[in-house]
Amino acid sequence: MPDTSRRPCRLHRYRFRSVWLLNAPPTVVYAVLERVEAYPRWWPQVREVASLDERSGIARFRSFLPYDLVVVASETRRDPGAGVLEIGMRGDLAGWARWTIVPGEGGTRAVFEQDVEVRKPGLRCWALLGRPLFRLNHVLMMRAGRRGLAAWLARG
């Protein structure tokens, strides 16, 4: 019999993709997105970012639902030429997230992709019933992030 204890449950796994169209040059958007310590200034749901070393840090998120997610994020790819920023995550979420920044119509197209497994025990208990709310929570967080970044870029 195969060992399924290490295999992620499909109910606990989430894949997200968001596309943000921004009115700024790709190099400027990339420069803002690579400064993760500044995310709490323009993205309300990113409550805290603390550096551990040059390539990793701890981040705390909280969106519409009343729970915090804390992750240790480690840089896995930083490629300004390709417009890619990618991290691996462990903690309340385990997996990866990636920004891909490319020229768009009159500005920049920022694509956010994420593939994670929820590890926070309290959220795992609610996997079946909570899944639609967890997905909505993410949508609201991404909407606020896009608005916050657009306003941040507009201020220069």
Residues 6+ apart with CB under 8 A from 71: 58, 59, 61, 89, 90, 91, 92, 93
Query: Which pLDDT tens digits describe the chain residue by residue (156 residues)?
Result: 444 445 556 778 889 999 999 999 999 999 999 999 999 999 999 999 999 999 999 999 999 888 899 999 999 999 999 999 999 999 999 999 999 999 988 899 999 999 999 898 877 777 767 778 888 999 999 999 999 999 999 998
d(CA 72, CA 52): 9
Distance from C-alpha of 103 to C-alpha of 110, rounded to nearest angstrom: 9
Architecture category of domain 12-155 in CATH: 2-Layer Sandwich (3.30)
Cα(85)–Cα(30) distance, rounded to whole angstroms?
Answer: 8
Question: Tell me: the pLDDT tens digits for 85-114?
Answer: 999 999 999 999 999 999 988 899 999 999
Structure tokens at 92: 């309340």
Question: Whole-model pTM?
Answer: 0.89
Q: How far apart are CA 122 and CA 131, in angstroms?
A: 13
User: CA 46 to CA 19: how far, in whole Å?
Assistant: 18
Domain limits, the chain: 12-155
Q: Angle 127-155/26-33 helices, nearest 10 degrees?
A: 120
